[in-house]
Amino acid sequence: MAPRPSGFSLLHPTDAATTARVKDVNAKRATPGSQTSLRESNRARIIEAVKHHGGLAQVELAGSTGLSPATVSNIVKELVAAGILQTTPSTRSGRRSQYVTLARNVGLVAGVHFGARHLRVAVADATGQVLADQRMPLGTDHRADAGLDRVALLLADMVESLDATLPELLAVGLGVPAPFDTSTGHVSSSSMLRGWGGVEIARVTSKRLGAPVFVDNDANLGALAELRQGAAKDVAQAAYVSVSHRIGSGLIINGEVYRGSIGTAGELGHVTIDEDGPICRCGNRGCLETFAGAQHLLELLRVSHGALTLRDVIRLALEGDAGCRRVVADAGRAVGIALANLCNLLNPSRVVVGGELARAGDILLDPIRETVGRSALPAASGALEIVPAELQGEAEILGAIALAIEHATVNVMANVPS
């Protein structure tokens, strides 16, 4: 790990005393309304924009912050010299440009993804470049305490392997495969993630790691990653749908992931398809997940094909097996019904389909497109693209890293020359 440049300090939000001292230093350095204060404010706006988007061309930074191109150029040069930002040559609309990101040596962030049956942990630098990545299987009903203990042990080993220490973690993003209630800090339904009910995930994990932890539904993280660097990039109104053992979705409204009033928006997997249908794990009947989730597909094939995994089903479908192709296509039609309703309500311009079942390609996507075209309002479906995810199985972990970068506290004002 490269030594930290002298131009910044790293603060955890929980470190109230340190935060107060820095505020006092900044207050002494610049009185409100002074030229120095304005410049510090502009620096902060530029850094926040870079963190939020993961990186921007300088001309995009000017548009995002409302600052003039000249001001952006000057401040970027200062922050590059201070070791806070870095620039790389790029092209935009055929013209040469400078692409601005946080400097790699600012510090480390981590992403954690609890899937239905696996745990994945990755450590990245402040630009989002993954430096270490590990995964392990989990039992179907894994408990929070055991899972979070594993996260702490894995992260300690991974950070040590990078010749760093846990205090160098700026932030950790953590995704769970269930709706997450931001008002309580808990999984909103214990029946949807058994063994996690009542656990304040961020607080418990932060205590184990000594770093700030930010939690979200894993489909929201998939949407965030596809928005930042995948198939939803530069799309203002979109949706991400993950079709796998479980079905989740993340909504993108006005270029931002939309989470609703308490964080549980976008639960497409629990839209009712048939009110007399099977009982879902959420307690309702006939949810989309009961018709298109992996458990339903595997059960349909048990008599004819024996015990299969979802990976087996996808492989056989791609090889031409009629039964496997049929259940995947039927799942696509069920997803299409739910998406048609979503299109009528929110009118997205693009739907990105990810998750393990999306590896079946057009065997899944064509029935989705046909059903949406038939069931949604023509004006809504006519302007809609339904495309495969670009990041595939990487979306959720990259989204967790992006969440960590967005929330990482990087204070750069104390020693940057005014």
CA 394 – CA 398 distance, rounded (Å): 6
What pLDDT sits at residue 418? 54
Q: What are phi and psi of 255, to 5 degrees?
A: 75, 15
Alpha helices, DSSP H, located in 188-321: 201-209, 218-229, 288-292, 294-305, 310-318
Domain 233-390 CATH (choose: 3.30.360.10, 3.10.20.30, 3.40.50.11540, 3.30.420.40) = 3.30.420.40
CA 56 – CA 76 distance, rounded (Å): 11
Residue with structure tokens 């693209």?
385
CA 220 – CA 266 distance, rounded (Å): 8
Residue whose C-alpha is closest to residue 174's, from 166, 164, 185:
185
Cα atoms in the 13 Å half-sphere on the side-chain side of 66? 4
% of the chain at pLDDT higher than 70:
89
**Which of the four pLDDT bands, split at 50, 70 and 90, describes residue 6?**
very low
SS3 content of the chain, % helix, strand, coil (to 5): 45, 20, 30
CA 265-269-272 angle, to 5 degrees, is 100
Inter-CA distances, 24 with 12, 18, 42, 199, Å: 17, 10, 19, 36
pLDDT in tens, 318-352: 999 999 999 999 999 999 999 999 999 999 999 99
What is the average pLDDT value for the chain, to the nearest integer? Answer: 87
The reply to whether 106-220+398-406 shares the fold of 31-102 is: no
- Domain edges within the chain: 31-102, 106-220+398-406, 233-390
CB-based burial label for 391 (10 Å; 0-12, 13-18, 19+): buried
pLDDT in tens, 179-216: 999 999 998 877 788 888 889 999 999 999 999 999 99
pLDDT in tens, 49-101: 888 887 888 888 988 899 998 998 899 898 888 888 888 888 766 778 888 88
CATH class given for the domain over 31-102: mainly alpha
CATH number corresponding to 106-220+398-406: 3.30.420.40
How far, rounded to the nearest angstrom, does the alpha carbon of residue 15 sit from its chain's CA centroid? 26
Cβ-contact 333, 371 below 8 angstroms:
yes
* pTM as predicted: 0.81
